[in-house]
Amino acid sequence: EQISTDDSVLTIIAHSGPVRALAVIATSTGDPLLASAGDDGTIRLWNPHTGTPHGHPLTGHTGWVSALAAIGDSTGEPLLASAGKDGTIRLWNPRTGTAHGHPLTGHDGPVSALAVTTTSTGDTLLASAGTDRTIRLWNPHTGTIVEVLRRRIAPATLLGNGSRLVIGDSEGLTTIELN
């Protein structure tokens, strides 16, 4: 690990390859955590103000990690979702650095994007996009799949916007209202 600072820039070098994903996690104490993930297959948690590591690297993926998403929890205990080349989505408790449940499986190939969204009734969903041209909607608290959306082309990115899911791909943007 290498941390350097000047008056306005904090540089953290800790992954052994490129960083592919970032997320900010709101903790129950109000102090944010920065999550980073990359080609080395690890997820690392940081104090975003000082660059100090929070716990040990989170491991479990085989291959690069390409997506992260912070999931709020009604109990005040946030979750962090990660996904990548191995086609799995993993949920983590960022406070303890431990896995939350079993890996979520179903994609046939790498997962390229994650997003958190809600249904029109307020239920939290985790959306995952894969190179298999599907978007899978999960209940992140139970790990069960809610719905599979099949696309003509593979989605490149996702954005949760309330009860809407925005899908970005090589043809543009599509917005879907989630009931």
Instruction: Look at the chain and count its residues.
Output: 179
**Confidence at residue 7, expressed as pLDDT on a 0 to 100 scale:** 64
Measured at the CA of 117, the angle between CA 115 and CA 51, to 5 degrees, comes to 50
Instruction: Kindly provide the residue ranges of all beta strands, DSSP E only, lying in the chain, ordered along the sequence.
Output: 2-5, 10-13, 19-25, 33-38, 43-46, 65-71, 79-84, 89-93, 98-99, 111-118, 124-130, 134-139, 144-150, 157-161, 164-169, 172-177
Residue 18 burial (CB < 10 Å; 0-12/13-18/19+)? exposed
**Confidence at residue 40, expressed as pLDDT on a 0 to 100 scale:** 92
Contacts for 94 with CB less than 8 Å, ≥ 6 apart: 25, 27, 33, 35, 45, 54, 78, 79, 80
Q: DSSP character for 171?
A: T
pLDDT in tens, the chain (179 residues): 555 556 677 777 787 888 899 999 987 777 899 999 999 999 999 988 888 889 999 999 999 999 999 998 666 679 999 999 999 999 999 989 999 999 999 999 999 999 999 988 889 999 999 999 999 999 998 999 999 999 999 999 999 999 999 999 999 999 999 88
**Confidence at residue 73, expressed as pLDDT on a 0 to 100 scale:** 66
- pTM for the model: 0.91
Question: What are the tokens at 117?
Answer: 């969204």
